[in-house]
Amino acid sequence: MRVKAIVAYDGTDYSGFQRQSNAESIQAALETALAQLTGEAVRVSGSGRTDAGVHAAGQVVAFDVNWRHELAALQRAMNALLPEAIAVLRVAEAAGDFDPRRHARSRWYRYSIYNAPVRNPLSNRYSLHVPQTLDVSAMQAAATSLLGWHDFSAFGSPPQGRCAIREVLRAEWQQADTGLTFDIVANAFLFRMVRMLVGTMLRVGQGALTPQRFAEILHTQDRSGAGPAAGARGLTLMAVHYNALTESGT
């Protein structure tokens, strides 16, 4: 049976989603739990990598498993075996060829900033601390230039030799109190793209770049003008969206 699962994790103590030798990954933790449960080696695929330290509220994974009980029992058993930092939020049967990466129509990431003079130990794990006052409307002007189809070479690397054109469907800063969030939805992302975009927009917010210059960096694909990447702790993969046809029931 092919299973689609929605997984949340605190990425702080992990090397990222993807299995690596010599480092704890989310994928390996899921595969270990499934191997303990089934006595068989189970290969887990994700909708995409998340970097070391990046969190997820709605990563989507899929795996093939021999399971004769209810799916709810599989979920409970996985949650009992997984470390506290990882949880399976939902499970559903998927089409036999369901591929969480290739079939994803879009991904939603959120970047969180704690914007106050002194750091906050209680939000430190899930946000970047920026002490300076930020010009959020300039940052939103920069964000708006991201909408639509663009070659994002300035802000990240595509897989070897592949194209860097992506479609951004939403790019929105929101401010509340001492919190600032950036929500971005795109059909797909380049490696480190969200953190590079946020790091560059922070320079816009601090007055070091104009929104116009930001848009030029995007259009000229000038890598040297972008960055630095904002820290991983502020980034969370919120959700992955699929077409109804491939989604199979969640």
Of the pair 96, 121, the CB lying nearest its own copies is at 121
CA dihedral 131, 226, 126, 19 (to 10 degrees): -150
Rg (CA), the chain: 19
Active site residue 51: yes
Burial classification of residue 241, based on how many CB atoms lie within 10 Å of its CB (0-12 exposed, 13-18 middle, 19 or more buried):
middle
* Binding residues vs its own copies (CB under 8 A): 8-10, 55, 57, 75, 79, 84-89, 118-122, 124-126, 236
CB contact at 8 A, 111 and 219: no
3-class secondary structure, 87: strand
The DSSP line for 164-215 is -EEEEEEEEEEEETTEEEEEEEES---BTHHHHHHHHHHHHHTTSS-HHHHH
Report, in Å, the least distance between residue 180 CB and its own copies. Answer: 18
Report, in Å, the least distance between residue 118 CB and its own copies. Answer: 5
Q: Which of 51, 99, 151, 177 is catalytic?
A: 51
Of the pair 61, 142, the CB lying nearest its own copies is at 61
Of the pair 85, 215, the CB lying nearest its own copies is at 85
Report, in Å, the least distance between residue 141 CB and its own copies. Answer: 30
Which residues are marked as active site? Answer: 51
